[in-house]
Amino acid sequence: MKKNISESIYLSIAGFILKVQFQHSELVYIKNRLTDEILNVYKGFRTQKNAKVDFEIFISDKASLNVIQRVKSGEVFISFYEKLDSKIIKTYYQISLTQFNAVIRDILCQLLSDHDGFFLHSSCSSVFGCAYIFTGASGAGKSTIMKSLHPTFSALADDLTIIKKEGNIYYCYQTPFIEKEFWINKTSLKRKFRGLYILKKSTKYAINKTVNKERIILEIMNQGVTKEPYITKQIRNIFHFVNSEKNVFELCFGKNRRKIIQLIKETRV
């Protein structure tokens, strides 16, 4: 990409096309810094120019960012993007990559809410070409199970997975966000959802069918990522998922990697 002219890139994330417009800047160093970071982190999600664009992001200069302070608490808030309309956001070269990721996350929350999808705090592995999702409370072993299965079954995520219904089938997508296990290869590819496993650390190794829908909804709601003003729609999407999918299990496991891999192989769904 040429460094100081207006150019666009297209990103494919969770099946949505996002157009990012890098506008001309007088602050060449600042522009190049953010542009290079975005191109590096999002390289697995780059796609060709597409007539169908679900959302647009314009990045430009801003002399100063708006700051709001709460007098009583001492909290300070910096405004780093603004919504120009329902499908266009404007942000600035002065922000960080973390803040740009927050913009992308907000956009995806909106799009997923309107298209039968949601974020889930979970790890995810590719097992025989399909997505196996592992979830549970903090410390349940989401990263542990994913790392135990890798490289026999490739790691897809260690903290956050996108689940989305397309037609009558649920698919799983990777997010572009940097996770604790930064070595995971991130791309825009989708994989058919095959099973959701609620984790339980144990001395035994077993996979048990979970039929209690109230428990499943509670587990997913506790690990789902929701935010205003999309909460109602995202809860609806979670209910649809639970009512549609029967491959939900409790996975009891310990520290023996070989036994974990064998268990997944023997109980292939």
Q: Which residue from 164, 152, 180 is spatially nearest to 240, judged by alpha carbons?
A: 164
User: Where exactly are the structural domains of the chain?
Assistant: 7-114, 117-266
Whole-angstrom Cα Rg for the chain: 20
Q: What is the pTM of this model?
A: 0.93
**231-266 pLDDT, tens digit each:** 999 999 999 999 999 899 999 999 999 999 999 998
Look at residue 1 in the predicted model and tell me its pLDDT. 55
Select from 3.40.190.10, 3.90.228.20, 3.30.590.20, 3.40.50.11540 the CATH code of 117-266: 3.90.228.20
Strand (E) or helix (H) holding 264: helix 257-266
Residue 183 per-residue DSSP state: T
Q: Which residue from 191, 147, 144 is spatially nearest to 169, judged by alpha carbons?
A: 191
**38-97 pLDDT, tens digit each:** 999 999 999 998 789 999 999 999 877 788 888 888 898 888 999 999 999 999 999 999
**175-215 pLDDT, tens digit each:** 999 888 999 999 999 999 999 999 999 999 999 998 788 88
CA distance 143 to 152: 15
